[in-house]
Amino acid sequence: AATAAAAGHCMHGEPVTASMASQPSLKGWQTWGGRHVFLCDGRFMVGPDWGVTCFAVALTTVLSVAFWIFVCPTLAGAPLVTSVGMLLYALTLTLLVATATADPGILPRAPYVDDAESLANASAERFVEVRGVTMPLKWCSTCRIWRPPRASHCTECNVCVERFDHHCPWTGQCVGLRNYRYFFGFVLSVCSLCAYTLVVSALSFLHALAAALTDATSGGDRVGVALDERPVPAALSIATALILLCVCPLLCYHCSLTCRNATTSEEIKGTFADRANPFDQSCPANCRHVLCRPLPPSRLHLRSAAAEELGGPMILRNDGGGGEGGGGVELPMAAADEGPPPLRTATLPGSEGKRRPAREQSSPDDVPV
């Protein structure tokens, strides 16, 4: 009964209390406070828009199967043309599934923080310094944690995500630190698949049109004859061209973001509109950092006991040297192999009464390389 009750809270995105999480029969995914859907006892996690993801898979499959059956056999070298199309289709679906099911970099909640402490932190100010640029830390009243730089709370999934870029409805998942490279590859593969389908389908239709133009018995409406003979290549040419018009600008935009080590969220909010982006190094270094660096381990332990998932290993308490009551805050812990030094607070001139970190880099993604 306890498991069923917690699962009901999980499916409806309702908050789960620490008392519920402490029940030994429950696992982390069963007490989840976000809006994700879990499969196979928490082994797989998909976002709340998983229905749209299924539609994207179905649309891609239908267009690809029609291409293999009705277009490829009309051209010379049909086996090779079909094989290339199948390879691009498999790559596209693999990257879509990887983006939709990977942990995007979700920061675990701290449900044991009471309302009084949450209210006090919400009115407090905290800052970190990254490459000489002072950036504010924001308190999330829902997750009850201090978010590291570049993290943001996704209202669709109801979780905080490291290096949050955006929530993608087509993948049904947030795009963040741990799945951005899969999303980038997915967009690139969609463009490649659509461009390939468009070119091959257009060639197939043009062959039929050329045959109609040289056929004296075809009458005056040569285009109509070609459409009657090969309607599927013509339809695929139009459909893939429309998709390319939508996806190609998106790919160009994310290429620009990657080269500058920026995110969609930062661009929309204008985070670095009036100051330099401290994470921007050089174009090659940014591309390596965003797309090629080893992924940090997930902070989630969805199949562990809920008491462990909500406990201390993923949260680093810093008491600012004052011990209990010393005004410390809780920050997500960085990966053990690249963890930053403990947070140090200092009173700066003109900031009496405010605690301000003298040095901190809260996220593995944000450690300068």
What distances in angstroms separate CA 192 from CA 58, 70, 246, 271, 312, one per listed residue? 18, 20, 13, 32, 45
Q: How many residues does the chain have?
A: 369
Active-site annotation, residues: 168
Q: How far is CA 339 from the centre of its chain?
A: 23
With the C-alpha atoms ordered 335, 340, 342, 346, is the resulting torsion angle positive or negative? negative
With the C-alpha atoms ordered 316, 319, 323, 325, is the resulting torsion angle positive or negative? negative
What distances in angstroms separate CA 134 from CA 127, 137, 211, 263, 345, one per listed residue? 6, 10, 68, 18, 13
Do residues 250 and 187 lie in contact, with contact meaning Cβ atoms separated by under 8 Å? yes
